[in-house]
Amino acid sequence: MRKILICAVLATIFFLSSAWGQRNEYPRPQFERTEWINLNGTWTCKIDPSGVGIEKNYKEAKGFDQKITVPFSPESKLSGVEHTDFIEHLWYHRMLNIPSEWKDKRIMLNFGGVYYESEIYIDGKFIDRHFGGSSSFSVDLTDFVNPGSEHSLVVYVKSDLRNRVQPAGKQSTRYYSHVCNYTRTTGIWQTVWMEAVHPKAIKTAQIVTDIDKSRIVIHPEFYGLGKTKLRVTLKENGKIAAQETGLATENSPIVLKVRKAKLWSPESPFLYDLDYEVLDEEGKVIDKVHSYTGMRKIHYEGNRLFLNNRPLYLRMVLDQGYYPESQWTAPSDSALRNDIILAKSVGFNGARLHQKVFEERFHYWADKLGYLTCGEMNSWGLDYNLPIATTIFLPEWMEIVKRDRNHPSIIMWVPLNEQNNVDKVNFPRFSSQLYDATKLVDPTRPVLTNSGGAHYKTDIVSSHLYIQDSASLHKELWNDGKLFPGHRFNEDPRVLYNTGSNFRYDMHETRWMVYNGKCPYLFDEFGGISFNTKQSGWGYGGSSSEEEFYKKVSSLVDVVLKMYPFVGGYCYTQLTDVEQEQNGLYYYDRTPKFDIKKLNDIFGKNPLQNHIEE
């Protein structure tokens, strides 16, 4: 416990003293190349309130009047702009110097995240367009730039949070932040970088770890094919553990046999190094990418979750990933790591990454530190009664799942949150399609399709309840000996029934969704007890003193723990305060509100330690 306390204090000090605004680390740690140029830093920008930039030929600009620090959004302090009004049209500019050594290579311009729609121009010429504010994307500049030359880059961004047809997450659709909606994030909000790749380089690879057969299966994709081979090397503590070479083709996976595999878990987050090398006809290495992987398995049987074939109980915290100086963007790489350390210090083994798609560097630290996460989409903001919601939402979600599916720390996908007021036709179809599409891109993880909302097709059932009294919470969850998810549908009551591997809705005259115990059930939002001695704000429920807080939160957690194995885990709201929302365990600046040891005594309880398996 002393070690936990020291780690928490040191983490907070390190976070507060670290140099903010330095985002110089390679942004894609599971697919890292050596030839790359970080484009973060000083750009120029122009806010275009009337949307007349196209008519005024801003695409041909050689610079704008206002400076901005990328990758921080113009709403944030670290950007140097701090424009917090709605921004529907925004222009960026910077010059690109293309190294002469990059001749005969493909030159890729990469964006970690640009909210929401972006258009890319080089020397005034339109190059590409991307829809989606949370998914990463790449633009091939090869045919539009010359190695050894300088070129003008313009990025045009469009966003309309109030049109109800783009995912917004917790970004406020009012002028001011309110309740659990916060300052907006517009434009570039993650790292921008260039890299040079061989025309036949490896483009990406899906890593599937199979602990039951002690093997790793690699499914690669390439920029170009023909007369090349792919060599994959697995290393354990620097020593070669397995190596295989095969034709560089997308239809023939590489299979690595792993002897005496070391499994990844929160208690022992062991990671293997993984190197990809593309070889030409003479056996010369023409492309090399460094990666890593963790051998682990997540699955469910009946109503229980299993990690590496052992029962798993989730003690998670809601993490919204907002920062006082920079909103969606972490001020530094150490800030990402620090948030995980803070959560683990008070007893949690993971987090729901809530209403925001976290950057890859966060998942890297979760992999390194042994931190279980639920990968969620920023799904609020869309009108899911509209058929266009499928068109807008689904492609971006597929990009996100494909980007992040190799991280061992992510144990389930959560594309939707609290979608309840929906119609009887479009949303049931959309929800089912969303589940199926997620499973096609990644069949290795369970899907909680709609956290705390209407469950049409899902692997996991969940509910959200912010009842502040433990007796009332027990009564609501455990009614006449039956476990209820706790959501009531007054206008359109429905009940779940089992169809084999998944759950769907059936129409019945009942006010409850009845859980039948044939899939895992999570209580994945509760608590929300506000306490703040620095300023007034909003929370789901309050406490007048620190001691009252400990008593209340302990009694609520104990109610949930006693329901194991019927309830397979929980998620407490929340890790930190966010702007006016004051129900965090830490203040917004990550300084502690409470005694770390007392919190660890509460959230560190594991019902598996006292439960005898059948």
Report which of 256, 524, 498 is spatially closest to residue 373, judged by C-alpha positions.
524
pLDDT in tens, 258-286: 999 999 999 999 999 999 999 999 999 99
Least confident of 7-21, 227-241, 339-353, 548-562: 7-21
Answer for the pair 217, 293: CB distance below 8 angstroms, yes or no.
Answer: no
pLDDT in tens, 32-73: 999 999 999 999 999 999 999 999 999 999 999 999 999 999
C-alpha distance from residue 128 to each of 64, 109, 110, 426, 469 (Å): 21, 11, 12, 31, 54
Count H helices, E strands: the chain?
Answer: 8, 37
Does residue 479 register a pLDDT over 80?
A: no
Q: What is the mean pLDDT of residues 451-478?
A: 88
Rounded to whole angstroms, how far apart are CA atoms 343 and 340?
5
Answer for the pair 153, 94: CB distance below 8 angstroms, yes or no.
Answer: yes
Q: What is the mean pLDDT of residues 410-435?
A: 86
Q: What is the mean pLDDT of residues 293-298?
A: 98
With cut-offs at 50, 70 and 90, classify the pLDDT of residue 480: low
Rounded to whole angstroms, how far apart are CA atoms 181 and 380?
10
Answer for the pair 374, 414: CB distance below 8 angstroms, yes or no.
Answer: yes
Is 188 strand, coil or helix? strand
- Tokens read off for 211: 């602990």
pLDDT in tens, 216-228: 999 999 999 999 9
DSSP codes, 373-394: EEEE---TT--TTSTHHHHHHH
Rounded to whole angstroms, how far apart are CA atoms 373 and 318?
10
Would you state the pLDDT for residue 396?
97
With cut-offs at 50, 70 and 90, classify the pLDDT of residue 495: very low
Domains identified in the chain and CATH numbers? 33-197 (2.60.120.260), 212-293 (2.60.40.10), 298-608 (3.20.20.80)
Answer for the pair 327, 190: CB distance below 8 angstroms, yes or no.
Answer: no
Answer for the pair 100, 148: CB distance below 8 angstroms, yes or no.
Answer: yes
515 vs 82, higher pLDDT: 82
Computed over every residue of the chain, the mean pLDDT equals 90
- Torsional sign, CA 269, 270, 272, 273: positive
DSSP 267: S
pLDDT in tens, 362-383: 999 999 999 999 999 999 999 8
HSE-up of residue 587 (Cα within 13 Å, Cβ side): 13
Strand partners, 316: 350, 571
Rounded to whole angstroms, how far apart are CA atoms 296 and 284?
33
Does residue 4 register a pLDDT over 90?
A: no
- Tokens read off for 541: 């429920």
- Tokens read off for 421: 């007021």
Would you state the pLDDT for residue 2?
47
Q: What is the mean pLDDT of residues 581-610?
A: 95
| Strand spans (E) along 484-556 | 494-498, 503-507, 521-527, 529-530, 541-542
pLDDT in tens, 137-177: 999 999 999 999 999 999 999 999 999 999 999 999 999 99
Would you state the pLDDT for residue 426?
81
Would you state the pLDDT for residue 265?
98
Q: What is the mean pLDDT of residues 464-487?
A: 73
Strand partners, 140: 108
Report which of 350, 463, 392 is spatially closest to residue 164, judged by C-alpha positions.
392
The helix or strand, by DSSP H or E, that contains position 152, with its residue range, turns out to be strand 150-158
Strand partners, 535: none
Would you state the pLDDT for residue 220?
97
> Which one of 300-309, 418-427, 509-518, 527-536 scores highest in mean pLDDT?
300-309
